[in-house]
Structure 1
Amino acid sequence: MDWLMGVLHADSVLELWWVLFGLLAQLMFTGRFLVQWIASERKGESVVPVAFWYFSLAGGVMLLTYALYRKDPVFVLGQSLGVFIYGRNLWLIHAKRKREA
């Protein structure tokens, strides 16, 4: 709770903006699980829709940006690999669609 009070009483508008950006990034990243869950429930089996990868990539890039701002090497390393994997999955999906078209 102390961190929240610090944010709410932050002297820096920029710092508050970064915290809000970080929260939005986490919501975007978490949204991928909602997308996957809804798609699986509709189909009656576990599926990973393309939207899952877009949410993953957008949330991952946003979280990586936030981690770079925070200069947190653990957070940066964790998000860097994920962003590469999400991008690669989208590349493979679109390459397959192009071949099948």
Structure 2
Amino acid sequence: MPFNTLVCNDFLTPVELNILAEVREVGDGVGAILVDKQKAKWGLYLNEWGMKKASGNGTMNYALICGWNDIVKGNELEIGSFISIWSFRLFGLLCFALVLPPPMD
């Protein structure tokens, strides 16, 4: 999720921002729950990833890791699938909702 495409970028608490600033290992990050269209709950981590371009410049992105591949399989997502990710909190816990567009007839 590129930072520049986020509708709202203030969904993380100061503690979560500090965790992301200190993450050094792949597989670490802010723990979260994702809920899909079948109301299945998936545990995963939110992390920041820098993507460098050939020019030397780059962009920062949020990535959902350590569980995302299971979500892809469970929701039959394919390369090029359009999705939306919404954030919310439940009892202070960071959560995401996976929203798929309606099927095309």
TM-score by length of 1: 0.20
More helix by share: 1
- Bigger-Rg structure (1/2): 1
TM-score normalised over the length of structure 2: 0.20
Structure 1 or 2: more strand by fraction: 2
